[in-house]
Structures are given as C-alpha cells and as structure tokens.
A and B are shown apart, each in its own frame.
Chain A
Amino acid sequence: GENVEQHPSTLSVQEGDSAVIKCTYSDSASNYFPWYKQELGKRPQLIIDIRSNVGEKKDQRIAVTLNKTAKHFSLHITETQPEDSAVYFCAASGGSNYKLTFGKGTLLTVNP
C-alpha cells in the first residue's frame, strides 16, 4: 500500500520567514495530494491540494509543488505569521482508491 513520509517533524521559524515541508510517497498510482492544517484542539482543515497533472499550485502565501518522477511534493508558506503555527499534514491518494494516506505531521511554530 501507499506510504507517505513527511519531514521535518518540527519546524520553528521567525515571523516573516518562509517555511517548507516535504513529503514523499511510494505509490506511483497516487494522483491527489492534499495538505491539511490542524490547530491545537481543532479538526484538520484542507488548505491546498494538487493533482498529478499539475506541477505547482499557489494560493496567496501558500504554494505546493509536485515532482511525480521523484514522487515527492512540498508545501511552501511565505511571509509566515504566528497564526500559521499548527500541525501540517500531507496526504496522498489515487487511482480507484479514495483512501487518504497521511504523513505523520509537521509541527510548525512561528515565533513573533
């Protein structure tokens, strides 16, 4: 089955800096790659996603890139703000299998 590795497990940045979280996946059939943000005590919320026919997608300060050949995808957050502090999860699913396989999460701390 699919296996998703996520790095780093923790990331601390200064406000205004950029943050990058990287994930790799194992199943070449995977074609959908969402990113979720989970604030303390709250539910995971989808912040951005990318499908395998696209190499990059941006939404304001957030961008995701996908390298299908290398089977890795990354989340980029620019101009970080304290409210970006949360746990971020990457995930992958694909083909006829709608099951989402998650990475173990990255705790991002943005220091004011």
Chain B
Amino acid sequence: KAGVTQTPRYLIKTRGQQVTLSCSPISGHRSVSWYQQTPGQGLQFLFEYFSETQRNKGNFPGRFSGRQFSNSRSEMNVSTLELGDSALYLCASSFLTDPNQYFGPGTRLLVL
C-alpha cells in the first residue's frame, strides 16, 4: 500500500496570510490526526478526524482548523499566520480502532 502523503512539502508564507495543508491517508485508513512539530515543543496534537467528524482536539487556538472528506483525505487550515506557526506539520493515519499511527513526510511551513 502507498504510505501517507502530504502536500505541499514546503511552504513559505508571510504573517497574516492563511494556509491549507493536505493529507492523504493510507488506503483503508479512516482516522487522520494532525501534529505540529517544533524543536522546543516536540510533537503536539492538533486534532483527529474519523469518518469526516472531528473526534479529538488539542489545545490550539481557533485559527487552526481542519476537515475530512468522504474519501478520508484531510485538510488543515491555519488562518492569520503568526511567526510562531513556523513548524513541521505532520499528519498520521490509522485503521479503524487500531491505535498504530503511520506518519506522512510532513509539510514544513515557514512564516516570515
């Protein structure tokens, strides 16, 4: 099976702009989780979607949002970008109730 894919791989934006990141899970996986990875904070959970519904949410401001489509592909959106949003954004997918998560390569976002 093909692994988790994320697009784009790299992004440069300026403060105040918004950005949309995309994640395609492994075929058959219906759960998609998003994480923000920064050197100082490690991997921080953003949210998780299952069957187009947000099942879990981390402690991030409302500027961070997401959605999942009927084919399990997921997008996350960050509005009004801040310098501190510069990070590697990882998505991970899992199968039904299996907690094993498989990560994508990430999208590296730089906010100038």
Interface residues of A (CB under 8 A from B): 32, 34, 36, 42-46, 49, 89, 91, 93, 97-105
Q: Choose among A98, A101, A102 the residue that contacts B31 (Cβ–Cβ < 8 A).
A: A98
A sample of 26 cross-chain residue pairs with beta-carbon separation below 8 angstroms, ordered by A number, consists of A32-B99, A34-B101, A43-B90, A43-B104, A44-B103, A46-B100, A46-B101, A49-B99, A49-B100, A89-B42, A91-B43, A98-B31, A98-B33, A98-B50, A98-B56, A98-B99, A99-B33, A99-B58, A100-B33, A100-B45, A100-B101, A102-B35, A102-B42, A102-B44, A104-B41, A105-B43
**Which B-chain residue is minimally distant from A104 (CB atoms)?**
B42
Are B41 and A44 touching (Cβ within 8 A)? no
Are A43 and B106 touching (Cβ within 8 A)? yes
CB distance from A95 to the nearest CB of B (A): 11
Q: Mark B74-112, 1 if CB is under 8 A from A, else 0.
A: 000000000000000010101001011111111000000
Interface centre among A34, A36, A100 (most CB of B within 10 A): A100
Bound form: Cα–Cα A4–B35 in Å: 16
Secondary structure at chain A's binding surface: helix, strand, loop or mixed?
A: strand
Secondary structure at chain B's binding surface: helix, strand, loop or mixed?
A: strand
Are B99 and A100 touching (Cβ within 8 A)? yes
Are B99 and A93 touching (Cβ within 8 A)? yes
Interface residues of B (CB under 8 A from A): 31, 33, 35, 41-45, 48, 50, 55-56, 58, 90, 92, 94, 97, 99-106
Q: Given A46-B101, A49-B100, are A103 and B48 also a contact pair (CB < 8 Å)?
A: no
Q: Given A32-B99, A34-B100, A46-B100, are A99 and B45 also a contact pair (CB < 8 Å)?
A: yes
Q: Given A32-B99, A49-B100, A99-B48, are A44 and B43 also a contact pair (CB < 8 Å)?
A: yes
Are B102 and A46 touching (Cβ within 8 A)? yes
Q: Given A89-B42, A98-B31, A100-B33, are A45 and B103 also a contact pair (CB < 8 Å)?
A: yes
CB distance from A5 to the nearest CB of B (A): 11
Task: Please give, as numbers and ranges, the residues of chain B lying within 8 Å of A34 by CB-CB distance.
Answer: 99-101
